[in-house]
Structure 1
Amino acid sequence: MSWNKNSHGLPFLPGFTFPDVTKSAFHRCQTLEYKNGFPVPRHPILGTGKDLVVAKQLIQPEMGDIVFESVTVPSKLTGEDQEEGFIPFFVALDKKVLRLYAYFKESVLFSPEEDYRVRPVVVYYYLEDDTMCIIEPRVQNSGLSQGTRIKRQRLPKAEGGLLYSWRDLNIAMDLEVYGVKYRIVQCDTFTQEFLEGEGIVLNSPEAMPVDPYIKRRENPQPSFTTPSEFDRMFKFLTLDRMVLRFFALWEDADSLQGKTRPVTIQYFLADDTVEIRMVHEPNSGRDPYPVLMRRQTLPKKIKLASATFPSCVLEISSQEVDEYYSPKDLQLGQRVKLLSRCFLLYDCDAFTKEYYEKNHPEIEMKTIKLPKKIDKRLDRKKEVPPYNGYGSLEDSLQNCLALVPKRPKKDVLKMLEKSNMVLRYSAKLVSQNPDNDGRCFVISYFPSNDMISVFENPTRNSGITSGKFLEKTRVRKPGSTVDNPQFYSPADFAIGATIRIFSHRFMLTDADLFVLTYLEANADNIPPETLESVRRKLNVDGTNDKAWAQMGTEDQT
């Protein structure tokens, strides 16, 4: 069934047209491509929605012009005749941005002191795709929502639905975007050179106007109220996050043990508050709550309370306090009584020393050396219990070091470099039992984690179940101790040598060709006897393909 309106013979009126429900593609086919940097047009075969395009029939004169037209093929150009390569505009203008400095005035309502505020912004114009964004630089502690005002996009003009381009930008002009009028006053050097290179005459730059709010704060208006001794807001803005840190000892003589405990006293310069924190020693048995005194102002001199009012329930306010603690009252080497607790100040950090040298040079900040406290528990050597034979040595040792054992650390770089390497040896079981004669094994050594696995080759009519003899595990050498274990390595696997694996003795009889390649690559760590034995065996037996074909395949999982 065809969905074309002409095939039905219906007029092109509303209600007489039927869309093609089988169509799923509505894009236009590409008709331009680049080859070696040159644009090459391509004749479209499919139209919109992958509909076939009817080829245009040429008349006879046009066909003759095409046949007899002389085609000149340019030869290879050299020297001055060689043309420059074609560079698309999005490559030439990539990462090239015009930057203009502007401001806008924000109206302030219901304020008798100010009518507007001047807020500077930066206008970025991206030449690659003609997009723009407006960003307001953030000012610390401004209390305003600053940052990105308009995200990167094509900005429309106020009239006609047109979009801004770089030809519309200039200095000393108004840029109206979404109802906000931005006044452009300056630009950077790249923007100036670009616009002047395109033939745009730039206006004279203007100065950024001063915000009346900031100007009024610098030059306060005369008032009839009595001014305070200092500006708390200025103190907060200039001294915020500046803290004097003292290291002290809390001489808790009233306690049952009468011990001294280390604490840190932090004095916040922004609001003259003090906080005391405990320094807990490891395994001290104390609760993990370090704050001894929360952040607060500490009174130094308190007025005498009224005789008729109980002092035990009297809340201390600024009216009852004559003087608070200040940085002058905190000196190294002196004892300070804070809330009926005695503290000995013996050291401070570098910022505190620098602050006192700059603001209070008359106070000498000399560190007091305290006698070293010797902990007998640290001198006691930890004894590791003997290995019980269960699990690996590393796992058993972790159970002795921590209550919750952790996984032993592995050499990740070694595992990544040698993850696919396997050294295979053929061996025979050395035993006094005559039933074990003729049993052949394949010993695989994994250099990534120094593990060994043993696989027994099947033998017909032997009556012995073949297959996996030993899973991947690390094998200690005979005679090595638990404190200093020594494990087998490729240096110990010489052809003809006998190795002992968990009370079983195996004599190595052959090796893979990759073993010789690996040993030669690591000849510095391999004894010459081991390397020479492998070379001698492989040179005698040749490739040993037939012997290795009978060994079977090991299950490495």
Structure 2
Amino acid sequence: MLGALAAPPCPPSFERRAVSAMAKYVPTPTGANTRGPGTAGTTPLDLTAVPCLPGFTLPQHKEKNNKMQRWGYAGGQRVEFDEGYTHDRPRFVQVPKPPNQWRNGEELPLSTTRAIFNTAEKEYDNLPAWEALDKQVLRFYGYYKEPVDESGLENWRVRRCVFFYYLEDDTVHIGEPKVDNSGIPQGVLVRRHRIPYSDKTGRYFTPKDLRIGRPITVYGKTFMVTDCDHFTRAYYIHEGIPQPESMPMQGDPVLEKRLFLDKRSPHMPITYEKRYREVQLGGGHINANMQQFLELDGKVCRFYAMMDDVTTPIFERRPFVILYFLADNSVEIREMYPNNCGRDSFPIFFRRRKLPRDKMDFGSPMATMPKAEDYVKVTDFLVGKTMKLLKFEFHIFDADEFTRRYFREELGVELQPRIQMDLPQQPWPRRPTPPPTGYGTQEDSLACVKSLLPKPPRKDLQKMMDNDGVILRFTAKLRDPKPEDREREFVIAFYLSDDTLMIHEPPKRNSGIVQGRFLQRGKYFNEATGKNFGPRDFQEGDGVKVSGYWFDVKGMDTYTRKWLDEEPPPYPNTDVTSVVEKLREGVKNQRPLVRDMFRLFDQDKNGVVTFEEFKKGMQKFAFNLPDEEIQAVMRHFDLNQDGKVTYTEFCDVLLDKDWSSEMLHTHTKFPVRTTPDEQYADKVQQSTADLKEAQKTRSAVRQIQSVFYAHNKTLTKLLKEFVMMTTKKHVTSQQVQQAMKNIGYEFPLDDVERCITFVQPQADLTQIDYVTFLQGLSVSFHDLPANR
């Protein structure tokens, strides 16, 4: 039904048909005729009279159909060139173009592209101002006068200002520096923006409008520009318009008076004449303490003292700082806790107040007030004096520089220099080295004693290279032999390259004994000297005992006799002075920091370098020297001659000025001693042994104390074990070990004895007071440093 009612489509109108017909004869923009075979020779038509209505317009034929854009690149930055779309057209400035990185043909050949296209390059680049002038600010100084109506002391007031002109966007920021206690709101006067000029022309401030000595008006307020900074002057000189000389800032009576009051002393000096006149008039200086406070406020004398604390199970020397406040004669005592001491952080031992000479007396309200003479004074504290304060004895050993200057200038007393109060290192108990096991050499047995994972002994490569193939041969016979062994002869061969020994029996015909190798080559212990066999232990006519057999040395070959008869090389064999110089230079070149240099030698990080560590450190620098010569080099670093090198001694020798060989011989502070010193060798061995034993003791004490510190009930269990073992108050070290084993913690007897000796240095290992031992074990956990 709907289809029957629909009207048929209308035929095209006459106007539409006419426009379509005319479109066939309209020429293209390029001059070529439009499509159709019969269009040659057609003339263009004037279509201006055709109405601009739908259906009467003609298609436009374009040569370029691309979409236009407003963006481009300037100096590698994307910028918007056209204006009126998002913001005004950006301002561009000319910036000198950086030199081209292409090859210019002076040192290297020209690049292929530059060799062909060799055109002149621009000297300047056009960059947007926000990139070329970023963070470039002109700074001017000036002031403006503010009228004051509510005060009768002044009519106007000078307000100082600072002008900041940002070149990147021509904005201006005006601020006023803040003055303490001025009572005036100060800070930002004009926020950063483009400030219009005051002539209502619509233009904005430019750098040419800011000149020294020229007033400017900003929003009805007139500012006077008086000065600018160095960068601003350089900018204007570069632009060709230099700024005039600076103008003096106009004075303000109120400001000058405030500055005068700030410079004036807060108190007026009181002379004897003034006090005399006041007393004559019936007055006098009423508050004398106030005058002392005004003159001596903030001046504190600092003294350093030590207190020997014998109340704890372990003797302890505790450092303190005594502060004497000169303003009110009060005293404060603070304790200086060392690092990692484990104590609670409450350093105030005596809070600030006046300290009486005797004991603290907290009397009743009706008690008589103590006099000024009953309190300690600053003159009572002297370096080297022992004072009894609060029932404790404090030994003053030093004072700071201000205290020494105050005593010298004000009191006329010269304090003593600093007194050394450091305790010497506690000697650790030494255990004898066990005898060799018989398996391998003695060095192999010592390696098993020193560590659970033994390492092979280090060989002396320098000695092996120097004495390679050098063998000393001796002839010997058995001492008190059996009848069948009387005719047996042996050859003892000693190898100088590694100090090994081998015994060989030459073959004899019809002897009935199997000759050949009698003793395998190896290092053997000489029971007579307590050391391994050396080349001079085999003297003609002497007897030696090797592996249970006694041999009488009968003779030696010619080479051995010549080698033994020669004089030993002079000590030292090498130039120790040159070795010291090369070592110092090598350490400086390898490590830039002194701390790293010292750690290169201090392998166990305990703060000192022993002989073994020094020897290994020299081997890292390719110095394979005998022990005597290494000791000579080490003596040069060991200033106090105690057998070990500390960090301070290492710095004193290493950080001195560069030395030449001639200066080393004439240097008086640290001369190189090349003469042998047997006492120093003993000190080196003793120091090395003490440090090794100290490391073992530290490890044993740490292991045992960690058990009691981690488990609170361990002490109670151990106390019960002691009570069950004996009825006495004393136990032995074996009983302590057994008691620990019964509660589940097994330690070697040596470690237990080391721990007992550390907690109670004077204790007898057969008579140990277990109550005192447990007390010391519980309170001394934090007193043991980690690696020193």
Larger of the two Rg values belongs to structure: 2
TM-score (norm. length: structure 1): 0.41
Q: What TM-score results when the alignment is normalised by the length of structure 2?
A: 0.31
The answer to which structure has the higher helix fraction is 2
More strand by share: 1
